[in-house]
Chain A
Amino acid sequence: MGIKMSYKIAIASSDEKMIDESFGSAKRFLIYEITEDGYHKAEERIVNEGTGKQQSEISQLQNDSSKQGCSPNADCGTGSGCGTGAQSGCGSGTGCGSSHAVSEKVLLVSDCRCIVCKKIGFNVQKQLERKAITSFDVDCSIEEALQKISFYFSKIDKHQSLRGFRN
């Protein structure tokens, strides 16, 4: 329970090297897949420029991403990976229906375990949090971020201590 063999991380980067874009300004997200053996870039997702996106499209998007075999967030379950306790059941997450106007970008990455960008708004963080998606606003290279994050999650998932993590 709670242990994921693989998961996805969405990254906002313009040059595929540095994390140099804010959540708000990102035009696309690079999706990396993290497995037991390491990580690799799986795909790119382009942000739809239209502001008044139709609900049906959003639902479609969501359904599509589920079909692609990404684990839905609700599966993130009650493991310690989802600290808010708000992750499953009611009122949030993918279970409560896509008819609600959650931010489109959030939906775009809603199958990812976490999002990494240079800056991220407080309210987006909250929306993500309710969907059990972790957000990191950092200023470093993609490689560094992926290494640190995957190491962190591997420890958390296996219920291993982060003692001396920094060293």
Chain B
Amino acid sequence: MSFNLESSNVATRENRIGSITGYIGSLSDLANQSKCGTLKGCSRCFSQSSSCLSSCALNQLSAIRDVAIIHHGPAGCSVAGANAYYLDKVMARKRGVTTSTVYVGTDMNENDTIFGSAESLRRIILEVNKRYSPKAIFVSSSCATGIIGEDIDSIVDDVKEEIDVPIVAVHCEGFKSRIWATGFDISDHAVLSSIVKPPQQKRNTINFKNFYESARPEIIEMFKNFDLEPIFLYCNSTVEELSRISESLATTCICGTLGNYLGNGLEEKYGVPYIRTINPLGIAGFEAWLREIGRVTKREAAVEKYIEEQRAIYIPQIEEIKKELKGLKAVLGMGPGYTFEVSRVLNELGIEVVWALAWHYDKKYENGDVPPSMQYLLENDVDFEASVADQQNYEVMNILNKYQPDLYLSRHPGSTVWAIKNGTPAVYVADEYMIFGYKHTLEFAQSVLDSIHNRSFEKNLARRVKLPYTEWWYKQNVDEFLEEAKTNGKAVG
């Protein structure tokens, strides 16, 4: 439990230091620390870029159909509107629906930072409402508006009289939180507080929080076996749909980090049970998740029947491919909602995880438990080196360089490139359904195998590129820039 701060040898566990925005140690240590509440973080004296919470928050909200996002700030903040426009169009088209969602900025300039821009914002809100007649309006702040003390709450309150759809202030002052995933909570909070209405009647629906609903058709088919109808959130959701999610039988989520706030909120406010199992990735995850849905919605028998049928089809195939995967070593770096889940799946598939990085770590879930994904690993005696690092690429490179694994798995844009420059094959676990259920677990195993089988691309590239870090850095320990954490006494927190 105590970490040796003096050690410089990163390869042996007993000498590893603890604590972080970062933490470096073994998984079991991380979990045990987490349980007794002794895990500490520490800030860095060198960091590389990561993410803004407004991206998480507003990307979620802008995926809702026929709404307006007004991002009050300089043009760089609202630049996400360009990508939102593209995503909304292609996602709606894929689903065969239309959306008129707009994401606009306010192009705040120097004058506004001196004299304020409340009146301009007011005018902009009214104009957007007139142009597009959105079904809901989200007005977001930014670092700059926060710093100059712009009171967006009052402005929003002010225009409420003139606007007859839900309008809500969304606080996205990036500097006020270090955890960009807080953005997901912010978007859930906005939806819960302004759109969701108390239930009128219970329905046989299940709220399914996800990112881009790529497995929508097959999940709809699957739930038909249990007489359940999934409502996918928030991509392509309508405001009307969202207003009724309190009527569902349960809420589930493809990723704990993403769905946590909404799930807990709906449970507390409206008694909609939140499914808190490990994620439906891999075999164990999928089955545990389905069984819990069966239990909560009282459909146990149908679920068991389905599991039995599907196992008969897929398990033999998965067993077959496992023979080829055996002995492979992997490093992975993802959000905490995925790192430990994917680690588990890799373990199921017989791939050894030599290091797992979580971009941040939710020590306690909202309900106070250790995250289920970690609980599962502990109960099943799976352990490996783990660290918590908020997308610190230089650390990833250092680890890859030292461990030279067979593959690197990540799911954040731009991250795989660095692995292949190191000559390490990379699997981009981008789609949230890439390892969902039996079928996608099999597909995932196959794509891992394909990535390993042909290493031409990464070998070709790695041979020709120079890495951007100095020789000096590669000689340092991974924890070089973690400021020392004073861990004397019975530390709490």
Measured CA separation A92–B368 after assembly (Å):
10
Measured CA separation A147–B37 after assembly (Å):
32
- Whether A122 contacts B268 in the complex (CB less than 8 A), given A85-B186, A92-B366, A159-B150, comes out as no
Q: Are A123 and B153 in contact (CB under 8 A)?
A: no
User: Chain A interface secondary structure, helix, strand, loop or mixed?
Assistant: loop
For this complex, 6 residue pairs linking A to B, each with C-beta atoms less than 8 Å apart, are A27-B489, A78-B169, A80-B171, A119-B42, A122-B42, A127-B363
In residues 79-130 of chain A, which contact B (Cβ within 8 Å)? 79-80, 82-86, 89-92, 96, 99-106, 118-127, 129
| Nearest CB of A to B455, in Å | 36
Does A162 reach chain B (CB closer than 8 Å)? yes
Contact of A84 among B42, B185, B362, B488 (CB under 8 A): B185
Contact of A160 among B149, B177, B361, B362 (CB under 8 A): B149
Q: Are A119 and B486 in contact (CB under 8 A)?
A: yes
In the complex, chain A residues whose CB is within 8 Å of the CB of B116: 161
Does A41 reach chain B (CB closer than 8 Å)? no
In the complex, chain A residues whose CB is within 8 Å of the CB of B113: 161, 163
| Nearest CB of A to B173, in Å | 5
In residues 136-157 of chain A, which contact B (Cβ within 8 Å)? 137, 155-156
- Whether A89 contacts B149 in the complex (CB less than 8 A), given A80-B173, A84-B171, A121-B39, comes out as no
A155's nearest neighbour on chain B, judged by CB, is: B149
Q: Are A80 and B153 in contact (CB under 8 A)?
A: yes
Measured CA separation A155–B151 after assembly (Å):
12
Q: Are A105 and B147 in contact (CB under 8 A)?
A: no
Q: Are B182 and A86 in contact (CB under 8 A)?
A: yes
- Whether A80 contacts B261 in the complex (CB less than 8 A), given A125-B41, A163-B148, comes out as no
In the complex, chain A residues whose CB is within 8 Å of the CB of B177: 83-84, 129
**9-residue interface stretch from B188-196, B202-210, B306-314, B432-440:** B188-196
Contact of B153 among A23, A47, A79 (CB under 8 A): A79
Does B5 reach chain A (CB closer than 8 Å)? no
Contact of A89 among B21, B152, B192, B361 (CB under 8 A): B192
Q: Are B268 and A91 in contact (CB under 8 A)?
A: yes
Q: Are B182 and A24 in contact (CB under 8 A)?
A: no
Q: Are A161 and B148 in contact (CB under 8 A)?
A: yes
Q: Are A85 and B388 in contact (CB under 8 A)?
A: no
| Nearest CB of B to A4, in Å | 15
Q: Which residues of B contact A (CB under 8 A)?
A: 19-22, 34, 36-43, 57, 113-114, 116, 141, 146-154, 169-173, 175-179, 182, 185-186, 189-190, 192-193, 260-261, 264-265, 268-269, 360-364, 366-368, 388, 483, 485-493
Q: Are A90 and B269 in contact (CB under 8 A)?
A: yes
| Nearest CB of A to B359, in Å | 11
- Whether A85 contacts B185 in the complex (CB less than 8 A), given A137-B43, A160-B149, comes out as yes
Measured CA separation A131–B493 after assembly (Å):
15
Q: Are B366 and A123 in contact (CB under 8 A)?
A: no
In the complex, chain A residues whose CB is within 8 Å of the CB of B19: 121
| Nearest CB of B to A99, in Å | 8
List 9 other contacts, CB 8 Å, given A129-B179, A161-B113: A25-B489, A80-B173, A83-B146, A83-B171, A85-B172, A86-B186, A90-B261, A103-B493, A162-B149
Measured CA separation A25–B492 after assembly (Å):
8
In the complex, chain B residues whose CB is within 8 Å of the CB of A79: 153
Measured CA separation A24–B39 after assembly (Å):
9
Q: How many of A's residues come within 8 Å of B, CB to CB?
A: 52
A80's nearest neighbour on chain B, judged by CB, is: B146
B42's nearest neighbour on chain A, judged by CB, is: A119
Contact of A83 among B173, B190, B261, B361 (CB under 8 A): B173
Contact of A159 among B151, B179, B190 (CB under 8 A): B151
In the complex, chain B residues whose CB is within 8 Å of the CB of A90: 192, 261, 264-265, 268-269
Measured CA separation A82–B491 after assembly (Å):
27
Measured CA separation A27–B491 after assembly (Å):
10
| Nearest CB of B to A5, in Å | 18
| Nearest CB of B to A154, in Å | 11
Contact of A86 among B20, B189, B485 (CB under 8 A): B189
Q: Are B149 and A159 in contact (CB under 8 A)?
A: yes
| Nearest CB of B to A84, in Å | 5
Query: Which 6 A-B pairs give the minimum distances between C-beta atoms?
Result: A122-B41, A83-B176, A24-B491, A121-B40, A124-B493, A100-B368
Interface mask (A60-79 → B, CB under 8 Å = 1, otherwise 0)? 00000000000000000011
Q: Are A51 and B36 in contact (CB under 8 A)?
A: yes
Contact of A91 among B147, B261, B493 (CB under 8 A): B261
B269's nearest neighbour on chain A, judged by CB, is: A90
Measured CA separation A134–B178 after assembly (Å):
11
Q: Are B485 and A80 in contact (CB under 8 A)?
A: no
Measured CA separation A105–B487 after assembly (Å):
15
| Nearest CB of A to B45, in Å | 12
Contact of A24 among B362, B363, B486 (CB under 8 A): B486
Q: Are B490 and A51 in contact (CB under 8 A)?
A: yes
In residues 1-18 of chain A, which contact B (Cβ within 8 Å)? 1-2
